């Protein structure tokens, strides 16, 4: 899977491997963005973690 829409579609269909691909591809970017918006370690970690948590 190369493009993001294929990955998102696979995740929506329950493919946990695709979630791993998405995480590996974007986790560092998301963390660095959270870091740039807040200097508070607790808030940064909460924001970063929230991006990759499942919604009920």
43, pLDDT greater than 50: yes
Q: Classify residue 56: in a domain, yes or no.
A: no
Hey, what are 17's tokens? 């491997």
pLDDT > 80? residue 28: yes
Write out the residue range of the structural domain in which residue 10 sits.
4-51
Q: Could you tell me if residue 32 is inside a domain? A: yes
In a domain, 45, yes or no: yes
Mean pLDDT of 20-37: 82
H-helix or E-strand containing 11?
helix 4-12
Q: Return d(Cα 44, Cα 16) in angstroms, integer.
A: 25
Question: Does a structural domain hold residue 36?
Answer: yes
Can you give the pTM of this predicted structure? 0.59
> How many angstroms from the chain centroid is the CA of residue 36?
16
């Amino acid at each position: 899977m190369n493009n993001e829409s294929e990955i998102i579609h696979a995740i929506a269909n329950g493919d946990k491997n695709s979630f791993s691909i998405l995480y590996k591809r974007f986790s560092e970017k998301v963390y660095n963005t959270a870091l740039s918006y807040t200097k508070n370690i607790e808030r940064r970690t909460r924001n970063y973690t929230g991006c990759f948590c499942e919604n009920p």
